[in-house]
Amino acid sequence: QVQLVESGGGLVQPGGSLRLSCAASGTISSISTMGWYRQAPGKQRELVATITTSGSTNYVDSVKGRFTISRDHAQNTVYLQMLSLKPEDTAVYYCKLSSYQWVYWGRGTQVTVSS
């Protein structure tokens, strides 16, 4: 079993920055993809960014150039550095780990961008 715990969310003004962290614990395969998804009120959950074991990354177009996903294999932690935040980035951000047929989700952390 794998547990994912997100942290780093909060309230920030437009143009501000936040860094989200997701720590994974448990039996984790050496081959996995980790990622961040978000869900705004009344909307479906959407992919924000993913990173593979080899370090390949993928971003949704709306965050390209503003968000950076990174991964610390030794700490089993994935990060999301978010810059130039906009009100439309407001959502609950969820961490996801995928390994073969297994998929795990964290409980989420709230990010609110507002003046």
pLDDT of 26 reads 87
The sign of the CA dihedral 90, 91, 92, 97 is negative
Q: What is the mean pLDDT of residues 39-57?
A: 96
Q: What is the mean pLDDT of residues 4-32?
A: 93
Per-residue pLDDT for 78 more than 90?
Answer: yes
More confident residue, 30 or 15: 15
- Calpha distance 17→95 (Å, rounded): 18
Q: What is the mean pLDDT of residues 45-71?
A: 97
Residues 27-46 pLDDT 10s: 877 788 999 999 999 999 99
- Calpha distance 63→67 (Å, rounded): 6
- Calpha distance 62→57 (Å, rounded): 15
Per-residue pLDDT for 18 more than 80?
Answer: yes
Q: Give 24's strand partners.
A: 4
- Calpha distance 82→69 (Å, rounded): 9
Residue 97 — pLDDT band, cuts 50, 70, 90? Answer: very high
